[in-house]
Structure 1
Amino acid sequence: MENNTPLLNLRNIEPGDYDELAALMDLVFYDVGGAWPRMTIMDLIHQFPEGQICIEDSGKIIGAALTIKVDYNRLSLSHTYTDIITEQNVIQHQASGDAMYGLDVFVHPDYRGLRLGRRLYEARKEVCRDQNLKAILAGGRIPGYQRVAKELSVLEYIEKVKRREIHDPILSFQLSNDFDVKRIMKNYLPEDDKSCGYATLLEWDNVFYEEEVPLLESEKSLVRLGIVQWQMRPMLSLEDLMDQAEFFVTSLSNYQADFVLFPEFFNAPLMGLKTGQNSVEAIRFLSEFTEDIKQRFSQMAVTHNTNIIAGSMPILENGRLYNVSYLLHRDGCIDEQYKIHITPHEQRDWVMDGGEKIKVFNTDAGRIGILICYDVEFPELGRIMAEQDMQILFVPFWTDTKNGYLRVRLCAQARAIENECYVAIGGSVGNLPRVDNVDIQYAQSAVFSPSDIYFPHDATITEASPNTEMIIFADVDLDKLKFLNKEGSVTNLRHRRTDLYGPLNRSK
């Protein structure tokens, strides 16, 4: 490039540009085959002219971006380069596709450093928005990997590039342009020795994408969960407790949480309002507040436009004591789930009884289930809910020691895997010195996912700091559960051997 300031022009590629474009591709892609045949470029221009973009300097093409339309559900999964361009150089463009796929972005070596690649990426994003497409996908080479392949796994390499400890000429650029690495694809382009055949599947989401269905018929896909890791502390009154609860509901609703989860027996501090009681008297005294708390939470759910799972509270019915979790919908409806399995402590010290029904609830943000603490340690309950198409399982819990907590956590993670659902657990922390049997707490609230390529590598979306009062958020994508059920590495629900053990759908 001469020292003169370039005169740049961004436009769509035209058929007469082929010779100049091919020369530039031969220069940039000399190590992976060079230019595509004229027929391939002509097909791109004919089938998707808006997606073929170039930058010229004083009439000379110095950079270009080539793009097709694809089916998002298919190409957001692992694939190879030949799924995009066949060995006969036929482009697999889908005119009805709901996403764009970036084939190549390339800039003349003499013009690098002018951020022309960024201009081409921004132009692509504008096309994606203008055509109301869901996302831009791309299979990204990692040509810097060959240099360190003996020392680092490909995952370690990508992580170091993300942390900017290593610079990769392609991946570093794509990450700086708001693309996220969704997965690693092996043998994407086997002849790409510099990348050792690997590629990253990158995705840029169009936040302005609108599903073309009537609003009232659309299903919410991205759901925000809010979990309160509640500090047990002495309370002076019911108002004191509800003020603290509303503080958390307000905070979570300000972040547009679709659900707010409180822990099991979060209202236990109210037992300290009356002294001199034995354990049975204290828990029955606590049950006297349940109806009032339920109604106040229902009002909060409507006022703050969020669905609340009010942990669990004791309720006295016909002389029998139960542990109940209430679901307060933001439209004012109220549902309830009784704890099914009563712990030895609850039976011995509080004389509690277990419930008889398992339910799955329809909400405006998916089908959910609730299992209170000990119940999550029984896999049959989660499976019954899964057979009723549960998508999110909420587990309010109370545990006093770390080993008790780990029973809940590990079983909750198992429920997420075997039932192909998200699981949110919420517990309490702190101490209640004056309250018998609920005096110490241990918790680390969290949200778990199934363990597959669509989800975090450790199947943990978020988790709180142990034994610290705080709130945590998690955005869960219900569409990913559909992909998992159909095309997961394993498909637990589809592979059940009901010929051996039969279905478990026995809700009453």
Structure 2
Amino acid sequence: MTGGSERPVTVATAQYPIEAFADFAGFRAKAARWVQDATSRGAELLVFPEYGAMELASMLPEAERGDLQAQLHCLQPWREAFVETWRELAVRHGATILAPSLPWRLDDGRFVNRAWLFGPDGRAGHQDKQVMTRFENDDWGVVEGDGLRVFDTPAGRLGVLICYDSEFPLLARALVEAGAELLLVPSCTDTEAGYQRVRLSAQARAIEQQVAVIHSPTVGEALWSPAVDINIGRAGVFTPCDHGFPPDGVLTLAADATPGWQLARLDLARIRALREHGQVNNHADWALQHPRLAPGIATHPLG
């Protein structure tokens, strides 16, 4: 995917419920409804959450559906149809879409958490999660994937930090130094504390890197699933706290957990300009912190 835009772009971030389906056609119909809803309101970039594709597991027999390990293997036969579903929707609606992430089996048998990004021309790329949570490591057996990527799209130059990845500033910095001007943060959290960690980290990344950040969470209950049974979050779009943007950096944030879209108009050129003319120079001043870090820190007694 290539491109980029100097004009404002309408973005949509999903507050997405995990639902159950009788067959794959039901899943395709839901995906089509959601994309139609966002693009009919002018959205050019659509962001779906982490592990939103786990709703495919609702079609499994009860024994596999309730087994964490069995789910991983049983989801794999649907993955090509899953990819084609989102590719077709991106082309049909002329949009750039970050699809819901799903466990993806590698050739060596390991499973990663993979999010696919589709352009309006049908081309695609993927980003694997980099840092795994305790649940993924200890209980589920989902592991870190290959490295970070930056994608050139008609909506801008994008980087993806999947949920927990957003809590690590150096990952965001690596993407920004590679040219990313917009960070997408799909998430899946089952507590208010987990949601707040991701949201506040997303806002911190927007401030310190002087970029826009789009956060899309799963919401609601899917008690049939041992992986995504409880989902807590609110979708939001965040910017630096500086000239021409909200003082709190919150461009939009859902008021409650009702499923649906949050839309915002992003002017990436104005955000880039903050790096030259902003009240502060977080992006440029990043390097100033390094000489002040350990091992150069000394301990001194009081007095």
- TM-score, scaled relative to structure 2: 0.90
* 1:145-224 equivalences in 2 (<5 Å): 219-224=5-10
* 1:30-50 residue CA offsets vs partner (Å, 9 max, x unmatched): xxxxxxxxxxxxxxxxxxxxx
1:286 aligns to what? 75
1:501/1:371 CA distance change after superposition, 3 Å = farther
* 1:239-274 residue CA offsets vs partner (Å, 9 max, x unmatched): 111211110101111122111111111121222222
Report the secondary structure of 2:52's partner residue. Answer: coil
2:117 to 297, 314, 327: 327
Contact 1:373/1:397, CA 8 A, preserved across alignment: yes
Contact 1:360/1:385, CA 8 A, preserved across alignment: yes
**Pairs aligned (count):** 286
What letter is aligned with 1:308?
Answer: I
**Quick check: which has more Rg, 1 or 2?**
1
Give the deviation of 1:291 after TM superposition: 2.1
Report the secondary structure of 1:380's partner residue. Answer: helix
Tell me whether 1:248 sits opposite 2:34 in the alignment: yes
* 1:470-485 equivalences in 2 (<5 Å): 470-485=260-275
What letter is aligned with 1:344?
Answer: R
Runs of at least 4 residues off by over 4 Å = none
Give the deviation of 1:233 after TM superposition: 2.1
Unaligned runs of 5+ in 2: 293-303
Tell me whether 1:409 sits opposite 2:199 in the alignment: yes
Tell me whether 1:303 sits opposite 2:92 in the alignment: yes
What letter is aligned with 2:192?
Answer: K
Contact 1:454/1:484, CA 8 A, preserved across alignment: no
TM-align CA RMSD = 1.7
* 1:51-106 residue CA offsets vs partner (Å, 9 max, x unmatched): xxxxxxxxxxxxxxxxxxxxxxxxxxxxxxxxxxxxxxxxxxxxxxxxxxxxxxxx
Distance, in Å, in 2 between the alignment partners of 1:261 and 1:337 is 13
Distance, in Å, in 1 between the alignment partners of 2:58 and 2:84 is 22
Distance, in Å, in 2 between the alignment partners of 1:291 and 1:415 is 33
1:259 aligns to what? 45
2:236 aligns to what? 446
Report the secondary structure of 1:288's partner residue. Answer: helix
2:168 to 375, 378, 391: 378
Give the deviation of 1:228 after TM superposition: 1.6
What letter is aligned with 2:282?
Answer: N
Contact 1:464/1:470, CA 8 A, preserved across alignment: no
Give the deviation of 1:465 after TM superposition: 2.9
Give the deviation of 1:501 after TM superposition: 6.1
Contact 1:241/1:267, CA 8 A, preserved across alignment: no
Distance, in Å, in 1 between the alignment partners of 2:105 and 2:7 is 38
2:297 aligns to what? none
Contact 2:4/2:154, CA 8 A, preserved across alignment: no
Give the deviation of 1:352 after TM superposition: 1.2
Distance, in Å, in 2 between the alignment partners of 1:390 and 1:320 is 29
1:400/1:293 CA distance change after superposition, 3 Å = same
Identity of aligned residues (%): 32
* 1:194-247 residue CA offsets vs partner (Å, 9 max, x unmatched): xxxxxxxxxxxxxxxxxxxxxxx9943201111121112222122111211110
Give the deviation of 1:378 after TM superposition: 0.7
1:314 aligns to what? 103
Report the secondary structure of 1:389's partner residue. Answer: coil
What letter is aligned with 2:49?
Answer: P
1:196 aligns to what? none
1:34 aligns to what? none
Distance, in Å, in 1 between the alignment partners of 2:191 and 2:178 is 33
* 1:79-158 equivalences in 2 (<5 Å): none
Give the deviation of 1:499 after TM superposition: 8.5
Report the secondary structure of 2:16's partner residue. Answer: strand
Distance, in Å, in 2 between the alignment partners of 1:343 and 1:466 is 26
Report the secondary structure of 1:368's partner residue. Answer: strand
Worse-superposed segment, 483-492 or 236-245: 236-245
1:423 aligns to what? 213
1:344 to 134, 148, 173: 134
Distance, in Å, in 2 between the alignment partners of 1:364 and 1:377 is 27
Report the secondary structure of 1:427's partner residue. Answer: strand
Tell me whether 1:399 sits opposite 2:185 in the alignment: no
1:80 aligns to what? none
Tell me whether 1:276 sits opposite 2:66 in the alignment: no
Distance, in Å, in 2 between the alignment partners of 1:311 and 1:395 is 11
Contact 1:228/1:471, CA 8 A, preserved across alignment: yes
Report the secondary structure of 1:494's partner residue. Answer: helix
Distance, in Å, in 2 between the alignment partners of 1:499 and 1:410 is 21
Give the deviation of 1:468 after TM superposition: 1.1
Distance, in Å, in 2 between the alignment partners of 1:327 and 1:501 is 38
Distance, in Å, in 1 between the alignment partners of 2:137 and 2:16 is 25
1:21 aligns to what? none
Give the deviation of 1:292 after TM superposition: 1.3
Contact 1:376/1:412, CA 8 A, preserved across alignment: yes
Contact 2:210/2:272, CA 8 A, preserved across alignment: no
* Higher normalized contact order (CA 8 Å, seq sep 6+, divided by chain length): 2
